[in-house]
A and B are shown apart, each in its own frame.
Chain A
Amino acid sequence: MISKEEIEKLAELSRLKLGEEEIAALQKDISSILDYVGQISALEGGEIKKEVGLNHNVMREDIPYVKENPLLESRDAVLEALPKREGDYAVVRKILHKND
């Protein structure tokens, strides 16, 4: 079974705060789900080649899309959606502090 420490590490990487009870439940659930989807590791590279397939780049000229672009008039609405705002700026927490 996946360890408590592993779940805590994954939660940290995922930026998720989890309670003790949920961590215990996740150890069980995630282990059984990984056991199931893990059957895919048994597939051999011989018959199944890793290919790019469906994914390919879509190139276009770097010119602004203006005609009928619904996003053009959204600037104010986007600013309205900011949880903390000063003027036209989003307020974020200071992450650098002076040494005392």
Chain B
Amino acid sequence: MTKLNELSIIEASAKLQAGEITAVDLARACLAEIERDRPEGTVDRLNAYLEVFTDVEEQAKQADERRKAGESHPLLGIPLAIKDNILIKGKKVSAASKMLEHYSATYDATVIQKLKDAGTVFLGRTNMDEFALGGSTENSAFGPTKNPHDPTRVAGGTSGGSAAAVAAHMCLGALGTDTGGSVRNPASFCGVVGLKPTYGTVSRSGLIAAVSSFDQAGPITKTVEDAKLIFDTIRGKDILDATSIDEDLYPKHTQKKIIGVIKLNVETAKENMDAVNSTVQVFSAAIKKLENEGFKIVEINLPSMQPALAAYYITNFAEVSSNLSRFDGVRYGLSLSGESLFDDYAKSRGEGFGAETRRRIILGTYVLSAGYYDAYYGKAVAAREQLRKEFEQTFKDVDVIATPTMPTPAWKIGEKSDPLSAYLADIFTVTANLTGNPAISVPMGTVDGLPVGIQFTAAHGDEETLFRVGKNVAGEEK
């Protein structure tokens, strides 16, 4: 019999509903998996969790009580892992930063409130790149998360802890956040499913902001059906997030059974070329399979893909430097004293933020400074708008755009020491954040034994098509 922690959410939910198992059984199975082979000084063997909550069994008992009292939400009693930048009232939330190491959340994020209403059990908070800046979880102040398929490799990022915890069955599903691929990238590297919803569909209230115009919370799960279940639970317009949208804002997309593929052009170092070529091969095979199953495949042209990565990073730097200015050592977080007020700020921020975070703040300050603003930020805004229009036009003719999620499988921990080479790996994921379109990563095969994902991007508000095509690839279609 499958171990309880290895069940999908849908499977576990059916067993709970049938009274075959309890939420306490499920929680204990996950806790046992987290505890297994744990080295000294860590929470679990992969460094996926930064903290496992002490009240997990208590939460599970309450879920069982609620079921006895007649409740039956499909997520009632389901144990989930939560990325460390999503606020759960009274629990620590550090964004994997020294800046917030001892900070406790003062309120519930809207997504957490919705999961609490459903009766979800929160197992703990998962590792990530500090303030969601990175793509491998190597920028965590508390050490990298290891890939469950090869512990010498990264789990991806920035939601690396969430994806590793799902892949290693240390939870049934997880929440991540996606700023430039942070849900889809680790999902691809760890061989699980990750969804970035349409911008505005899921409330950002209670998420520690990275890039406010890109950030969306999304599920990381073992199956596409599970991702849909969590998505349906956390979505909805929220008065606490002025950028959240009405469900019917975007017109309904008419199905055509047409998939658009772009002529792939990956900039990469020579030593990565084999990995890129192998990934493209797996991708071509996945597309061929979809064609055999009745999808029409068309090649599409998106000229604005070319400057997309530059536009993405300029916007990222600019918003990060603005968003992180709130950390001043006065209101919350790390507070160090220097010779003057200026010194207090500079010392608290200099020591509280990690190297990549400091680098992006400096870059953001540069691209927003007088004299450079038009050349960088102004152009990035224009390129973004142009790309959005090209996407809108494209979705008149196709249901989804398909690419590999990442140009390669997971790299070795420490391999990408040059920041720019790490940025270039985001080439396929950033576009959906620039345009606000929904995108999903689903496992499509392996390269040298390591999982690689296929990414589908759909029209605004058309997550349903992502689930339908995703289920087809994952073999979940009946």
Chain A residues with CB under 8 Å of chain B are 7, 10-18, 22, 26, 29-30, 32-34, 36-41, 43, 45, 47-51, 53-55, 58, 60, 65, 69-71, 73-74, 77-78, 80-84, 90, 92-93, 95
Asked, given contacts A22-B355, A69-B240, whether A15 binds B346 with beta carbons under 8 Å apart, the answer is yes
Question: How many whole Å from A28's CB to the nearest CB in chain B?
Answer: 10
Q: From A17, A55, A74, give the contact of B349 (CB < 8 A).
A: A17
Complex alpha-carbon distance, A6 and B349, angstroms: 19
Which of these, B89, B307, B340, B369, contacts A93 with CB under 8 Å? B340
Q: Which chain A residue lies CB-closest to B329?
A: A83
Given known A-B contacts A15-B345, A36-B420, A43-B383, A77 and B310 have beta carbons under 8 A apart: no
B295 at the interface (CB under 8 A from A): no
Residue of B whose beta carbon sits closest to that of A70: B107
Q: List 5 A-B contacts (CB under 8 A).
A: A15-B349, A18-B358, A37-B313, A81-B104, A82-B330
User: Smallest CB-CB separation from A68: which chain B residue?
Assistant: B113
Residues of B within 8 A of A83 (CB): 329-335
Query: Does A16 lie within 8 Å of B384, measured CB to CB?
Result: no
- The reply to whether the CB of B283 lies closer than 8 angstroms to some CB of chain A is no
- Given A16-B350, A58-B243, A95-B341, A30 contacting B379 (CB threshold 8 A): no
Say yes or no for B386: interface residue by CB 8 A criterion.
yes
- Complex: how many Å from CA A26 to CA B321? 16
Contact with A along B378-405 (1 / 0, CB 8 A): 1111111110100000000000000000
Give CA–CA (A39, B113) in the complex, Å: 43
The answer to whether residues A53 and B385 also contact, given A15-B349, A58-B242, A81-B332 and a CB cut-off of 8 A, is: yes
Residues of A within 8 A of B106 (CB): 74, 77-78, 80-81
Instruction: Check B359 against A29 for contact (C-beta < 8 Å).
Output: yes
Q: How far is the CA of A69 from the CA of B275 in the complex (A)?
A: 49
Give the chain B neighbours of A70 by CB distance below 8 A. 89, 107-108, 110, 113, 206, 240
Residues of A within 8 A of B240 (CB): 65, 69-71
Q: For B353, what are the chain A residues with a Cβ–Cβ distance below 8 Å? A: 16
Q: Which of B108, B342, B369, B385 lies in contact with A51, CB distance below 8 A?
A: B385
A7 (CB) vs chain B CBs: closest residue = B362
Chain A proximity of B380: nearest CB distance (Å): 6
Interface 1/0s, chain B 414-455, versus A by CB < 8 A? 000011100100000000000010000000000000000000
Report yes or no: A18 in contact with B103, Cβ–Cβ below 8 A: no
- Which 8 residue pairs are nearest across A and B when measured between Cβ atoms? A17-B350, A83-B335, A77-B106, A17-B346, A81-B332, A58-B242, A15-B345, A53-B385
Q: Could you tell me the distance between the alpha carbons of A47 and B199 in the complex, rounded to whole angstroms? A: 26
B366 interface neighbour in A15, A30, A48, A51, Cβ under 8 Å? A30
A13 and B365 contacting across the interface, CB-CB below 8 Å = yes
Which residues of chain B come closer than 8 Å to A81, judged between CB atoms?
103-104, 106, 331-332
Q: Tell me the complex Cα distance, A33–B423, Å.
A: 9
B193, chain A: closest CB distance, angstroms? 27
Chain A residues with CB under 8 A of B314: 37, 40
How far, in whole Å, are A40 and B475 apart by their CA atoms in the complex?
A: 41
A26 to B366, CA, bound (A): 12
A17 to B361, CA, bound (A): 12
| Other-chain contact of B311, A12, A40, A54 (Cβ < 8 Å) | A40
Decide: A33 and B420 in contact? CB cutoff 8 A.
Answer: yes
Cβ 8 A contact of B388, one of A15, A47, A54, A80: A54
Q: Which residue of A lies closest to B347 (CB)?
A: A17
Give the residues in chain A near B330, CB-CB below 8 Å: 82-84, 90, 92
User: B239 at interface (Cβ–Cβ under 8 A)?
Assistant: yes
- Are A82 and B350 CB-contacts (below 8 A) given A7-B362, A71-B107, A93-B341? no
The interface bits of chain B over 241-280 (1 if a CB of A lies within 8 angstroms of the residue's CB, else 0) are 0110000000000000000000000000000000000000
- Cα separation A93 to B341 with both chains bound (whole Å): 6
Interface membership of B142, Cβ < 8 A? no
Q: Is B1 an interface residue (CB 8 A)?
A: no
* In the complex with contacts A37-B310, A40-B380, A53-B359 CB distance below 8 A: no
Give the residues in chain B near A95, CB-CB below 8 Å: 341
List the B side residues contacting A43 at CB < 8 Å.
307, 379, 382-383
Considering only CB atoms, which chain B residue lies closest to A71 in the complex? B107
Given contacts A14-B362, A26-B362, contact A48 B383 (CB under 8 A): yes
Q: Is B213 an interface residue (CB 8 A)?
A: yes
Name B67-106 residues within 8 Å CB distance of A: 89-90, 103-104, 106
Q: Let me know if A39 and B310 touch, CB within 8 A.
A: yes
Could you say which residues of chain A place their CB within 8 Å of the CB of B420? 29, 32-33, 36
Residue of A nearest to B387 (CB): A48
Residue of B113, B333, B358 most packed against chain A (CB within 10 A): B358
Q: Are A14 and B332 in contact (CB under 8 A)?
A: no
Q: How far is the CA of A51 from the CA of B385 in the complex (A)?
A: 7
Whether B344 is near chain A, meaning CB under 8 Å from some CB there, is: yes
Assembly CA distance A22 to B340 (angstroms): 23
Q: Cα distance A37–B216 when bound, in Å?
A: 24
Shortest CB-to-CB span from B268 to chain A, Å, is 13
- Considering residues A54, A80, A92, which has the most beta carbons from chain B within 10 angstroms of its beta carbon? A54
Most buried by B among A17, A29, A51, A90: A17
B43 sits at the interface (CB 8 A):
no
B375 within 8 A of A: yes
